[in-house]
Copies of this chain bind each other. A is one copy, B any other.
Amino acid sequence: MKSNLHSYENDLNRKILATDFYQPSTRTRFSFEAAIIKLGGSVISTENAEQFSSVAKGETLEDSIRYISCLADFIVLRNRWNDSSFRAANVSRVPVLNGGAGTAQHPTQALLDVFTIYENFGRLTNLDIGVFNDLKNSRTVQSLVHLLSDFPGNRFYFCSIPSLMLPAELEEDLSKKGVQYLKTNDLREALSKSSVAYFTRLQAEYIKDEVERKRLMEEIAENENKYCKYAITEDTIKFMPENSILLHPLPRGPEIDPRVDLDPRAKYFEQAENGLYVRMAILEILNRRNRKKP
């Protein structure tokens, strides 16, 4: 699909994708919208359902989805509730795509992540994957680790401060599957062992409490004094092996210095572009499989 975009351009003619976003995002929304348009379809869109939709008038998410599924052929939902996609899929007459659900999952992001890894290594097995920074609140991390741990031979290096380490359930899940992983707060150690270095930003918007936020900043600063900053700079990128790749779901904060953008290992913009092709593929597959329910 990536190498042969034009041969798919009428596959979803007259199909409508509804983007129903309760949380800010032009990025994921634009990516899905461009995907359906490239396949010949159209978009109906709300970027502020929290404020403008009928849910604001007291309607349930279920009623709202049931209504939209009468009009559209696909629904992309982004919502702060972890179980929102399941609740929506349960009542919808058309496929519901999870465009980000609370702190739980962001599955299409994980699919474009693994597509980018596959493009670079030709495999999804026997890889050393470093995951950095906010492993606790990042839904992209939950989805990616969940997905990659299903492929044999992958080893994980989780690098963060204790307070932002992987959630206990995800760790248990890895243990059950017998997946090898190491937890560390030493950036150098994790980076030098990783063939894939996956960075995330601090999801500061989830930390409402001022005291908690301050305590966290102190813990980060303390750890930085002991080791080094959890950031890719012209200095720290030297720890990365030559054939490794650097990924980030974007948007990035200070954790990746723009001065490393031209380094051949920096693949986050290719990764972002791959989102278009992966989402086109998802829509194409769903279109073949699904027929609107009565």
Copies in the complex: 3
CB-based contact A48/B58 at 8 Å: no
A24-B53, A63-B250 are contacts. A37–B44 as well, Cβ < 8 Å?
yes
CB distance from A94 to the nearest CB of B (A): 12
Size category of the A interface is 35 or more
A70-B269, A250-B67, A252-B59 given; A48·B47 CB < 8 A: yes
Q: Mark A53-78, 1 if CB is under 8 A from B, else 0.
A: 11111111011101110111000000
Which residues of A in the span 16-36 have a Cβ within 8 Å of any Cβ on B? 16, 18, 20, 24-27, 29-31, 33-34
Chain B residues, Cβ within 8 Å of A59: 250-253
Q: How far is the CB of A272 from chain B (nearest CB, A)?
A: 5
Known contacts A54-B251, A59-B251; decide if A272 and B67 are in contact (CB<8 Å): yes
- Can you offer 6 A-B residue contacts whose CB atoms are under 8 A? A16-B38, A24-B51, A26-B54, A47-B52, A54-B251, A57-B205
Contact in complex: B26, A14 (CB < 8 Å): no
Are A57 and B251 neighbours in the complex by a CB distance under 8 Å? Answer: yes
- The smallest beta-carbon distance between A280 and chain B, in angstroms, is 11
A145 contacts the other chain (CB 8 A) = no
Interface centre among A43, A57, A72, A272 (most CB of B within 10 A): A57
Residues of B contacting A253 in the complex (Cβ-Cβ under 8 angstroms): 57-59
Is A133 engaged at the interface, CB distance under 8 Å to the other chain?
Answer: no
From B9, B25, B251, B276, A52 is in contact (CB under 8 Å) with B25
- Asked if B70 contacts A272 (CB within 8 A), the reply is yes
Q: Nearest CB to that of A60 among chain B residues?
A: B258
Say if the beta carbon of A49 comes within 8 Å of chain B: yes
Of all chain B residues, the one with the shortest Cβ separation from A276 is B71
Q: Are the C-beta atoms of B47 and A252 separated by less than 8 Å?
A: no
Interface pair A26/B46, CB less than 8 Å apart: yes
A108 within 8 A of B: no
